[in-house]
Structures are given as C-alpha cells and as structure tokens.
Homo-oligomer: A and B are copies of this chain.
Amino acid sequence: MPATSSPRRRPHSGSRRDEAARLAVLHAADDLLAEHGFGALTIEAIARRAGVAKQTIYRWWPSKVEILLDTLIEDSEKRFPVPVEKPTAESIRGYLHGFARFLSHDPAGKVLLALIAEAQHDPGTAKSFHERYLGPRRAQERDMLAQAIEAGEVSPELAPDATMDALVGPIVYRALTGTSIPPGLIDTLIEVLLTPRSKHP
C-alpha cells in the first residue's frame, strides 16, 4: 500500500532533481551530527528527519560521507575562505584564526572533524575527502603562500606543504583532542614559521 493517503506534502518536481529534497537532506545530516553525534548519522535517520525516501539519498549520494562533504565544502568557503587575492601576513593570520574558530566554535566544524575521523576508518572516505576537500583547499593555500612570499610578506623556513601542516596541524590536533586553542599559539606559530629570522627581535 504505497503513497495512498496524502493530506498534502511537498509536491515533488517531476523528472528533474528536487532541490527541496537536496537541501532537506543536507540540513538533516548537519543537524543530526550536531545534535546527536556521528553515531546517530545513519542514512535511515537522515531520511526520516528530512522527510525523504532512502532511495532519494542513494540516488544522489554514494554514501553519507559525500553528504557531509557537500555541506563542508560550502560552509568552509563561506566561513573561512583562503585569502588568495593579494594575501598579506595579516590576512594569513586572519585565515588561521578563522580556521581555529570554525573548528572550535562553529557546529559545522564538527563536520570536518568527523570526516578526518571517518577517513581513518574507510579508504573510500579518505579518497573522496582528499580529492574534494583537502586537495583543492591545499592548492589554494599553496597559492596564498607563494604570493605572500613573492610580495615579501612572509619568508617561511619550510617548504609550502610542510609549512601549512606545521601551522594547521596543532590547531586540528587541539580540536581532535577536544581542547581549546590557547591564546598566543597561532600567533607564535606564525612568527616562528613565517617570519624571517632576522625579524626576530
């Protein structure tokens, strides 16, 4: 006995993809993660919460990880975009502080932590996560660094990737271990890793 009784629901849109369903899924996934944690983030729960059929989710997303990636990519660009337009030492500092704030205080930051975690458990997640998030983001960061170096804004001791990991790693590690970022940590990291030694007092 399929969809016999229907008082009035969202009339779906026919043979083209239903944008309302897409957004409902994204928000349901976000909300469930924030409210009840990754353990409650099952496809069935997302479908239930979004008022959507499971098949609709499987039709458009290969796994729940891709749902999270969709929201993360959008949120990251909105909340802490990489300053690729004429980056300065100051804008790089702002970027890292923004990143730290996102991870520590923004509910959406849990999505990034959950994806890092899930990537440890599942190779497919690791692949998607690198290709769709870490890779593109790191490319922008390299670009940012290169321009800042050329403009004489910064002068790192390490290669670009190592520099970024040395900056970002401690922030991520603090978030993963559930501790807050102590004041001064980011600024000190920037000073010792990006500032030419001669500028040390």
Contact = CB atoms under 8 A, between A and B. Distances in A.
A102 to B, nearest CB: 15
A24 interface: no
Interface residues of A, number: 44
B165 A173 contact: yes
A18 interface: no
Interface string A118-134: 11111100100010001
Contact of A162 (B116, B120, B185): B185
A-side interface mostly: helix
A200 to B, nearest CB: 5
Contacts of A130: 177-178
Interface stretch (A5-13, A78-86, A145-153, A187-195): A187-195
A16 to B, nearest CB: 16
Task: Report the copy number of this chain in the oligomer.
Answer: 4
A170 B165 contact: yes
Given A157-B188, A188-B158, A197-B200, A173 B169 contact: yes
Nearest to A114: B120
B173 A189 contact: no
Contacts of A123: 37
Interface in A163-193: 165-166, 168-174, 176-179, 182, 184-185, 188-189, 192-193
A107 B193 CA distance: 31
Instruction: List the 8 shortest-distance A-B pairs measured between CB atoms, nearest first.
Output: A169-B170, A169-B173, A117-B120, A117-B117, A169-B169, A192-B192, A38-B121, A166-B170
